[in-house]
Amino acid sequence: MLNAVLAMNESAISGHASPFIERFENEFANFCGTRYAVACSSGTAALHLAARALPIRPGDEVLVSALTNIATANAVIECGGIVVPVDSEPETWNLNPHLLDSLVSRSTTAIFPVHIYGHPADMPRIASYADSLGLSVIEDAAEAHGAEIQGKRVGSFGDAACFSFYANKVITTGEGGMIVTDSLEIAAKASSLRNLAFGTPRFLHYEVGYNYRMSNLSAAIGCGQMTRIDEIIQAKRDLARRYTERLTGTPGLQLPIEKDGYRNIYWMYSIVVNEKEYGESRDTLQSRLARAGIDTRTMFAPLNIQPALLLRGAVKPTPCPVAERLWREGMYLPSTPTLTDSELDYICSTIRNGR
């Protein structure tokens, strides 16, 4: 916090120049192991800019992880594309790469995997499938800053990747987002589109752009947050370990995993409740926790059942039985790393409730 405040004082003195934006972009690109980073106003804006920069064109089909924040799908739809939801792996809840070949069509141009709740999607498989057909890949890494596969950071696998700095994300600028990429072309295009796509001469525009800029003030907060990001991720991983210690062995509860060679940063500690084995439905457990003063959230509703997308005819209603089950049975627990042991004991004993 002190760092952020100091940084903000400095930025206030610097007038209308934007030194912190460039610094935040450089630091974040370094963090991800990519060449370029383009800061913008939100994770939603980052996804839209990346989809435009790729580009996704009207009529393109995009294979999108079914279990995700609606913003992943909106990016495709704003470009006139069609969302083709891909069902989840039962263990990691990420896009199941084995389903790609059954869903791909002549109109498919890209794959948008999501690193859900902090566990990386199977990027080696997804990238090699995409390569074999010449498809582009945009990673939605909004929940997975610093997550890794074999020591390689998420954000560095796709043609581009998008991060969010919303208040509940791994690091925050209040509102904010970032595109990272190794492609100068994508970075330049995204950077132009985020600022109304000014042309030459200035005030002639050859493309329709947006005001998706990040403010220098937000970037200053981002620089402050970068000094703590490793510590925050470690605290998230510690919290997950402390939850797992307390909940392991509870009948009917599926806990988050970390696949071999993967680094999960556990953005949200999520569980799946099997009613038959647990003895209570997810909804009943959620209400019981609420009465005990414990706030939880359900997992995302999958893209194949989203009314707004179906009404527009902008989504193929592919079968997603796993993601639909996760929507009914999945929930996440309080995930602030500052939770004390006694708070965790209270949450977990309420969940175990004699089980």
Ligand X SMILES: *Cc1c(COP(=O)(O)O)cnc(C)c1O
Q: Please, what is the minimum distance in Å from the beta carbon of residue 113 to ligand X? A: 10
In the list 7, 71, 126, 299, the residue contacting ligand X (rule: CB under 6 A) is 71
What phi and psi values does residue 254 have, to the nearest 5 degrees?
-95, 130
Tokens coding 264:
């999960």
* 216 near ligand X, rule: CB under 6 A: no
* 142 near ligand X, rule: CB under 6 A: yes
Q: Write the DSSP string, 189-245.
A: HHHHHHBTT--SSTT--SS---B-PPPHHHHHHHHHHHTTHHHHHHHHHHHHHHHHH
Q: Which residues pair with 211 in a beta bridge?
A: 195
Please tell me the distance from the alpha carbon of residue 347 to that of residue 288, in angstroms, as a whole number. Answer: 11
| Of 93 and 278, CB closest to ligand X | 93
| Of 177 and 224, CB closest to ligand X | 177
Q: Which residues pair with 263 in a beta bridge?
A: 148
In the list 68, 88, 156, 335, the residue contacting ligand X (rule: CB under 6 A) is 68
Q: Please, what is the minimum distance in Å from the beta carbon of residue 350 to ligand X? A: 26
Q: Please, what is the minimum distance in Å from the beta carbon of residue 117 to ligand X? A: 9
**Per-residue binder mask for ligand X (CB under 6 A), 96-135, x = binder:** ------------------x---------------------
Q: Please, what is the minimum distance in Å from the beta carbon of residue 70 to ligand X? A: 8
Strand 160-164 to 177-181 pairing = antiparallel
Q: Please, what is the minimum distance in Å from the beta carbon of residue 43 to ligand X? A: 2
Nearest residue to ligand X by CB is 43
In the list 61, 139, 140, 258, the residue contacting ligand X (rule: CB under 6 A) is 140
Q: Return all residues near 175 (Cβ < 8 A) that are at least 6 apart.
A: 41, 42, 165, 166, 167, 218
